[in-house]
Amino acid sequence: MSIKSIFNNIKSNPFLRNVAILSSGTIISQLIVIATSPFLTRLYSVEAFGLLSVFSSFAVFFAVLSTGRYELALGLPDDNRKAAKIFKLIIYIGACVSVLYLILIFLLKDIIHIQDKTGFLTNNQVYLAPVYIFFGALYSALGYWNQRDKRYKRITIANAFQVIGTSIFSMLFGVLKFENGLILSLILGIIISSTFLLLTDKKLLDELADSNKGILEVGKEYSSFPRYMILSDLSLTACQQFIPILFSALYNTTIVGFFSMANRMIRLPNIVITSSVGNVFRNDAIDEIRNQGNCEKLYNSTFKKLLLMSFPIYLIIFAVSPKLFSIIFGAKWEVAGYMARILSVALFFEFISAPLNTLFYIFEKQKILMRLQMANAILIFISIFLGYYLKNDYLLSLTFYMIVSVLSSLVFLYFTNNLSKNEGRKI
């Protein structure tokens, strides 16, 4: 098949076309990440990457509470005004939660003087975490708002602004020898992208101006999202974000730095493709369910596409990552390459299962998802600690984590396969 015929096939297929639109900006952004990483690894220490990973892990974990998970409901109302009320509710929740976090940080750091082995509270940049959390909530809400109307190009541009802005500031602060330049750049990147999406959306601004009443009523109507999805997504986020925190507490920030770089590079296929596929799959699944009562055909088709895309990518990563990391980032980063090899197995299965998990939200099976993710989080914590307890070996901890992650992905695939047939009552 020629390149021209591939492009024609993508243009004629709405699903592939929308995935391509969402992926294109992310691909460009991640290419910039790849291009700048060899310079950043020479401008910043391994420990600096470790501190960035710990900061972002804590911030992303606590950011789950900052929206009440109401952003997942933005695509459900047929009325834009009703959706705008949900959006405004998210802003209110995000502002309140961010202020509470600021007070909590002040109490723990400057009043109680709590001993923090992870290094999160010992860094003065911790006071910027609430800022990052608020804009993270805003950015998430803006993303789902644009998905309502399938305005994928705007999301693509915003994602590009975020990553490009973060990369440019990281390079600049690195040259200027800013000790916490990586953390500051992360925050500036999300502020830039959020501001772009908000101020260039006249339709949203108009709807927000006319949606001052009935916000609490809408919050009650979609209360199942905070009731079930906060605990569920806290568990999922804990699985993803607490690994650097656990490694920092059990081992040291140097090990976290190696893990951070491995995860930063190895997750590129997932970042570029799976979120785009998941967003398009969710919207197409909703349409197919409304028309046919199930989305089994779409599910099977998407599963096959994900499998065919992921296998060659992660096979290559598994084979060459240790040598590749050493060549690109310097000899001291070879350890990160071995970590990447272990992670590649888990991410291969996650690549396939993660986009399909949106069916839990569509069929309002948040309670089941919450239980599955809580069980997964507990098992991951145990697996990482087990490697430390048995041999005090970070690679063994990572291997146990990989095994649990693979089993978890297979369980999620079992449930979503049943849901695609509209067999929710059988689960």
Cβ–Cβ < 8 Å for 319, 235: no
The average pLDDT across 168-195 equals 92
Confidence band (pLDDT; 50, 70, 90) for 64? confident
Q: State percent of the chain over pLDDT 70.
A: 91
The average pLDDT across 133-137 equals 93
CA dist list (Å): 1 to 8, 9, 17, 227, 232 = 11, 10, 18, 49, 43
The average pLDDT across 350-379 equals 85
291-306 pLDDT, tens digit each = 888 888 889 999 998 9
**Which range has the top average pLDDT, 203-212, 372-381, 415-424?**
372-381
Long-range interactions of 3-10: CB distance < 8 A, separation 24+: none
Element (H, E) at 5: helix 3-12
Q: What is the pLDDT of residue 423?
A: 56
Q: What is the pLDDT of residue 8?
A: 55
Q: Is residue 178 over pLDDT 90?
A: no
308-334 pLDDT, tens digit each = 988 998 999 899 988 888 888 888 888
Cβ–Cβ < 8 Å for 177, 43: no
Q: What is the pLDDT of residue 239?
A: 65
Q: Is residue 10 over pLDDT 60?
A: no
Q: What is the pLDDT of residue 286?
A: 84
| 209: number of Cβ within 10 Å | 10
The average pLDDT across 32-56 equals 86
Contacts of 395 (CB under 8 A, 6+ apart): 338, 339, 342, 387
CA distance 259 to 340: 8
Cβ–Cβ < 8 Å for 14, 151: no
Mean residue pLDDT of the chain comes to 84
The average pLDDT across 115-141 equals 86
Q: Is residue 390 over pLDDT 90?
A: yes
196-249 pLDDT, tens digit each = 999 988 888 888 887 778 888 888 888 878 887 777 677 667 666 778 888 888
CA distance 143 to 156: 10
Cβ–Cβ < 8 Å for 276, 313: no
Q: Is residue 88 over pLDDT 60?
A: yes
DSSP structural state of residue 282: H
Q: What is the pLDDT of residue 235?
A: 67
Cβ–Cβ < 8 Å for 358, 285: yes
CA distance 324 to 331: 10
Confidence band (pLDDT; 50, 70, 90) for 373? confident
CA dist list (Å): 101 to 51, 131, 398 = 19, 10, 31
Q: What is the pLDDT of residue 214?
A: 80
